[in-house]
Structure 1
């Protein structure tokens, strides 16, 4: 079975990573990195620095482009739902194409993924599609 780890990285200070996050980074085979454009490239750089410090040698980085999202839409819920679905397609492709059976993929999330982020809902959408099977953990 393929596995997927959603790793909370706190506020972004590498010195504040939990030991649990460091262990999870060290256990993953491949990481999905979503580029968010030039103005947020420092966030991607910080994720890469954390992986350089804590991921195991030979880990793979798979890059994708984070779908654009209107931050002030007239109709908020459908806009966010569309953005999540576009992200779900990227996650599904990563799991299907970049992970072999028995491997673990991971995604680094700011803050506590169980509270502040939509990554878990996106993974649930991927599972609902039924095209890939995997277990996931936070």
Structure 2
């Protein structure tokens, strides 16, 4: 059976990273029933951490690109939780995005759209989700964005 999600990733030219290891005293995900809670994933690309503050050193577009990297790491954690089988992913339930931003920056939703738009592009209606997008005065390691997620799996 062809894995439609993996095929769609390939069609989009996207390769998921390896699931990042926890950086402190927590687990990367917890499953309870058919719900999978994935710990916050920080903005990190092939060249390392994406750091900076929205409204100061980063544009909204750069923030949205950073949020997309969080989405990729979230999906990598889902894949790890499902034993490498993304066909077990049924839908994205909720994303909570934290944006490292100045006090007067108000485009947090546009930043987190980088993750939300990618989930919908990849999964269609199963990627549509509830969401929060909030400002943070600072994030771990100075990263631009951190996003946590809740997923329905089988």
TM-score (norm 2): 0.32
Greater RCO (Cα-Cα under 8 Å, separation 6 or more) = 1
TM-score, normalising length: structure 1: 0.34
Kindly indicate which of the two structures has a greater share of residues assigned to helix: 1
